[in-house]
Chains A and B, each alone.
Chain A
Amino acid sequence: MNWQSWSHFWAMGGYGLYVWGSYAVTLVVMIGEIVALLMRRRGVVESLTKYYAARGKNHEAKA
């Protein structure tokens, strides 16, 4: 183990801001990408469901 205590871990020898600033932003970006993907998927499924429903109604109306 490298760290004598949790506070040493968070301080990162004085460079805490830089190290944790890097890791935090990376985590935010990656989680953000995943969330955006999930939202995109849900959006696609919803819009396609509506699209097919509208087309289905059209076909019924024409029939």
Chain B
Amino acid sequence: MSKSKRVSWFYFSSPQTFYGLAGRLQPWFSALAVIFCVVGLYIGFFIAPTDAQQGESYRIIFIHVPSAWMSMFIYLVMGFWCGVGLVFNTRLSSMWATALAPTGALFTFIALWTGALWGKPTWGTWWVWDARLTSELILLFLYIGFMALQAAIDDQRRADKAGAVLALVGVINVPIIYFSVKWWSTLHQGSSVSMKSAPTMAMTMFAGMIVMALGFWMYSIATALSRVRCVILERERHTEWVMAEIGERK
């Protein structure tokens, strides 16, 4: 007897099933994060040569650029899932967006911090109010505002939706950050990396940067998976499966 099997594409879109999946995936992403970061740092410190103009200070690039990329990427992903949750009224999408926010905020902070520490020896100043730095700082405030708004509203569904509106309103900031160095003549250097042509930096430096970016990406996914599990437990406390799950832990 053959039974036609219908794949349910939405099997993992319930908090209960996703909880299990997240728990199984998280160690793999953590491992990948460690591997990529170790390899990336090795390339960055032991293979990539000294920069002709900036000396050794340029090695901050292996954290600064990947973290800046992640800060923007995470916000876009967060905005996407906020939008999905708002339009389709799905709980898990909003939970995932909430889980992403702190990691995105931390990467934004890292990008700003490493940028300041790189700016001092290179430009002579810790900070300058040019378009890119200012809009990245605004991004940090947007993340914090998102988290603060969700924390302040007691009703969970309202908190999700209000946060979603805020996140979507702020999405416009991300292209501003990205294109700011093209639109304005800023102190921050223009992009050396583009989709259309070869990078204008040495291949080893580029490789180190890309590998570190992959490492940070895996790290973001791992922390978000971990956090969403906490969020799911907190929000679904009245369900049978959470009771069973917690009961097993005793």
- What residues of chain A have their CB less than 8 Å away from a CB belonging to chain B? 1-3, 9, 12-15, 18-19, 21-23, 25-26, 29-30, 33-34, 37, 40-41, 44-45, 48-49, 51-52
Contact = CB atoms under 8 A, between A and B. Distances in A.
10 contacts: A2-B47, A2-B49, A9-B45, A13-B57, A14-B55, A29-B106, A29-B109, A37-B223, A48-B246, A49-B249
Nearest to A12: B56
Contacts of A52: 243, 246-247
Interface stretch (B13-21, B169-177, B227-235): B227-235
B97 interface: no
Give the top 9 A-B pairs by smallest Cβ distance, nearest first: A13-B56, A15-B57, A12-B56, A22-B114, A13-B55, A18-B117, A22-B60, A22-B117, A48-B246
B246 to A, nearest CB: 5
Contacts, number: 87
A56 to B, nearest CB: 10
Interface residues of B, number: 40
Chain B CB count within 10 A is highest, among A13, A26, A40, for: A26
Given A12-B56, A22-B64, A34-B223, 17 more contacts: A2-B47, A2-B49, A13-B56, A13-B57, A15-B121, A18-B60, A21-B117, A22-B63, A22-B117, A23-B60, A26-B110, A37-B223, A37-B226, A40-B230, A41-B226, A41-B229, A44-B233
Given A37-B223, A37-B226, A12 B233 contact: no
Contacts of A34: 223
B120 interface: yes
Contact of B114 (A2, A9, A26, A41): A26
Interface of B: 45-50, 55-57, 59-60, 63-64, 67, 102-103, 106, 109-110, 113-114, 117-118, 120-121, 219, 223, 226-227, 229-230, 233-234, 237, 242-243, 246-247, 249-250
A13 B50 contact: yes
A49 to B, nearest CB: 6
Nearest to A22: B114
